[in-house]
Amino acid sequence: MKGLIWFRNDLRLGDNPALVTLTRRCEKAIMLFVIDPEWFRPTHFQSKHMGRFREEFLYQSLRSLECELKKRKQRLVVKVGNPLEIIPDICRRHGIDLVTVTDHPGVNEQQHVAYLKRVLPSEVRVCESFTLYLRNQINFTKDSFPKTFTQFRRHVDHQNLLPCIPISAPESLPSVLDERRDFWGGQEFVYDLTPYHGGEDSGSLQLNQFFWKTQGLKHYKDTRNDLDGWRFSSRLSAWLANGSLSARMVAAELDNYEYRHGRGESTRTIFAELLWRDYYQWMMHVQGARMFAFDGLKQKRPLTRFHSEKFKAWEQGTTEFPIVNACMRQLNQTGWMSHRGRHIAASCLVNELGIDWRFGAAYFEQQLIDFDVSSNYGNWQAVAGVDADPEEHPQFDVNVLASEYDPEGVFVDKWAESSSSESLLKY
């Protein structure tokens, strides 16, 4: 039996049911990743789907995946083009019997799989591993989906739902089906991502560093609202976003940590953040394109519009708000911004500058090394007040936030002195 696995946001061998399914059923297989040129073209929100930081992190992750496949006598086939043209062509030429792919809540990702199911004569098997829980555990409809995270968490607690246990990587893989690879990732990147490095091994190393070696988890409850630095946060979001790590792997490691050290405020906080991530994934699964609508899930149009000069000032970090400028310069020069910084910058764009939230969400999509479509658009809807929550969200004063989270002005001073050409990711 001949198979093909289409890697997307599951760039790992461990906890990859799509890979295990392929291995159990096929003697020969193609391991495929498709780079879609549409990712790098500007949208009507004046941003690209993928900027240079995430692009380089992706290529690092693909190189790591290729190395791991080689150890099992397989190879990664990278193609450049439209996957809905490339995959049917490969299946036709090789007589593919089985295509496996990991489920993903993104609207385009769902549509792509639905199209392949319609047009391919081969079986298309969709496997779940991007979320903590399975679809049959989170069986909400559009009408019944929780309007707040608190309601979602109560459902999880009431049903006594436990995260799925991650599965091991297969010891061996089907033999190679020979397929030409396209040239990819050959350009020179001017940005240094250190200490970020894409790939399953690097993600596992960071997980070990934060949980065990540096004891960052032990103090997380006290450090989680910091704006700068590396160790105050787990920094796992980039590996989770492209699937070099799964949320189930992190949850299992957290369970191991709590078994050894006991449950505390910091471990509960980390699990709550994994649960927040799942909440937004399932929200997009259920709500679909509504997550991108100007009037949001609430279907209430906010009193904002697009002002090109104000947006450009926000984008470049030249507004009248020093804390926002520091956050945006940090983002532009490192591809990363703290959770608290994202909230401050987003609140400023919507509430202080009165700009359509979708432009900010699209800019974050382009710039963030850890962009996740569900979390990004879910959080932006919340800031814009167009999410499903029936309660009105309080409008925060940016200057008050600055005094609370950067009382000595250290963060503002650091990024005020940085130029747009230098990278300060190494700290």
Write out the two tokens for 300: 């209430």
Nearest residue to 19 via CA among 204, 168, 121, 181: 168
Query: What integer pLDDT is reported at residue 424 of this predicted model?
Result: 43
Nearest residue to 5 via CA among 46, 24, 33: 33
Contacts for 65 with CB less than 8 Å, ≥ 6 apart: 7, 11, 12, 13, 33, 76, 199, 200
The answer to whether the CB of 302 falls within 8 A of the CB of 357 is: yes
pTM for this entry: 0.95
Single-letter amino acid, residue 254: L
- Residue 413 phi/psi, 5° resolution? -65, -40
Single-letter amino acid, residue 193: L
**Angle, CA of 288, 395 and 283, to the nearest 5°:** 15
Write out the two tokens for 416: 């005020």
Contacts for 73 with CB less than 8 Å, ≥ 6 apart: 172, 173, 175, 176
The series of mean pLDDT values per 10 residues for the chain, 427 residues long, is 98 98 98 96 95 94 96 96 98 98 98 98 97 94 94 95 97 96 64 85 96 92 91 94 98 97 95 98 97 96 94 97 97 96 96 97 98 98 95 84 94 78 41
Query: What integer pLDDT is reported at residue 139 of this predicted model?
Result: 87
Query: What integer pLDDT is reported at residue 190 of this predicted model?
Result: 52
Cα–Cα distance, 116 to 96 (Å, whole number): 13
Write out the two tokens for 405: 């989270």
Query: What integer pLDDT is reported at residue 230 of this predicted model?
Result: 87
Nearest residue to 401 via CA among 334, 326, 311: 326
Query: What integer pLDDT is reported at residue 425 of this predicted model?
Result: 44
Query: What integer pLDDT is reported at residue 21 of this predicted model?
Result: 98
Cα–Cα distance, 85 to 91 (Å, whole number): 10
Single-letter amino acid, residue 83: P
What structural domains and CATH numbers belong to the chain? 2-129 (3.40.50.620), 200-292 (1.25.40.80), 308-416 (1.10.579.10)
Query: What integer pLDDT is reported at residue 186 of this predicted model?
Result: 52
The answer to whether the CB of 365 falls within 8 A of the CB of 275 is: no
Query: What integer pLDDT is reported at residue 191 of this predicted model?
Result: 59
Nearest residue to 203 via CA among 7, 4, 9: 9
Cα–Cα distance, 185 to 195 (Å, whole number): 20
Query: What integer pLDDT is reported at residue 391 of this predicted model?
Result: 86
Cα–Cα distance, 415 to 420 (Å, whole number): 10
Cα–Cα distance, 185 to 59 (Å, whole number): 6
Alpha helices in 317-372, H assignment, sequence order: 322-334, 339-347, 357-367
Q: What is residue 48's DSSP assignment?
A: B
Nearest residue to 133 via CA among 101, 159, 163: 163
CA 164 to chain centre: 19
